[in-house]
Amino acid sequence: MNTQSNAMTPPPLEAQAVAPADIPAIRQFYSSVRRELWESRSIYIAPMAVAGVFLFGFLINAMHLPQRLRSGFSPAQLHDVIEQPYDMVALLIMGVSFVVAVFYCLDALYGERRDRSILFWKSLPVSDTTTVLSKTSIPVVVLPLLAFAITVATQFAMLLLSSAVLLGSGMSAGTLWSHLPLLHTWLMLFFHLVAGHGLWYAPIYGWLLLVSAWARRAPFLWATLPLLAIGAMEKIAFNTSHFAAILQHRMMGGPSTTGSTTGMSIDAMTPFTPGQLLGSPGLWIGFAIAAAFLAGAVRLRRHRGPI
Residue 177, burial from CB neighbour count under 10 angstroms (0-12, 13-18, 19+): middle
Reported pTM: 0.84
Using CA atoms, how far apart are residues 194 and 145, in angstroms rounded to an integer? 7
pLDDT of residue 290: 95
pLDDT of residue 182: 84
pLDDT of residue 72: 65
Using CA atoms, how far apart are residues 307 and 200, in angstroms rounded to an integer? 32
Cite the DSSP H helix spans in 70-181.
75-108, 110-114, 118-122, 128-137, 143-168, 174-178
pLDDT of residue 103: 95
> Domain boundaries in the chain?
23-303
pLDDT of residue 255: 66
Using CA atoms, how far apart are residues 197 and 79, in angstroms rounded to an integer? 27
Kindly give the parts of the chain with pLDDT less than 50.
1-8, 10-20, 257-260
